[in-house]
Amino acid sequence: MRKWNANNPEKVRENTARQYAKNKAADNARSAAYSAAHPEKVRAYGALYRARHQEKERVRNQNKRIKYADKIRSTAQRYHADRPGLKNLWDAKRRAQEKNATPSWAKDSKILEFYETAQGLSMLLGEWYHVDHTVPLQSKLVCGLHCEANLQILTATENLSKSNKSWPDKP
């Protein structure tokens, strides 16, 4: 059987697809029953899979964020509209982080240029641009400064996929 399978990969693929389509409902029911009966095993297996396939998961999540960007944005807008106090809290926390991370020698005019350039690019090119901290202001390993030397302009997609998990010379 192994020899036949190795010599007929197309037929194997067709047979597998046909069997999957034929038994899809029963397979889904069996899987749901197992998940309900063993939630801790399913969670542990999912965590193990994600740990073993970090890069694959990162790319998959990045593609989902791109594919569903409009849905994510509208959900976030509804969430914030329903909780204006929480949004204000997060914004205030971010401003405080920037204030605490801004050294006395930082030039506000230079920092402002980054934000104005990003806004101009967004208006000109029709794509959102963000001002990003090359070294994140808040991370488990490092905290950067809010100054012109630590700023860069990225597309929104690049910035959101980067999160606070990468920076130059990361250990």
Question: Average pLDDT of the chain?
Answer: 89
Residue 52's identity, in one-letter code, is: R
Q: What is the mean pLDDT of residues 40-46?
A: 96
Bigger pLDDT: 85 vs 46: 46
Q: How confident is the model at residue 4 (pLDDT cuts 50, 70, 90)?
A: very high
The pLDDT tens digits of the residues spanning 83-123 come to 888 888 888 888 888 888 888 898 888 988 998 999 999 99
pLDDT for the residue numbered 8: 96
Q: Name the token pair of 80.
A: 């914030």
Question: At residue 91, what are phi and psi to the nearest 5 degrees?
Answer: -65, -40
Band (7; pLDDT cuts 50, 70, 90): very high
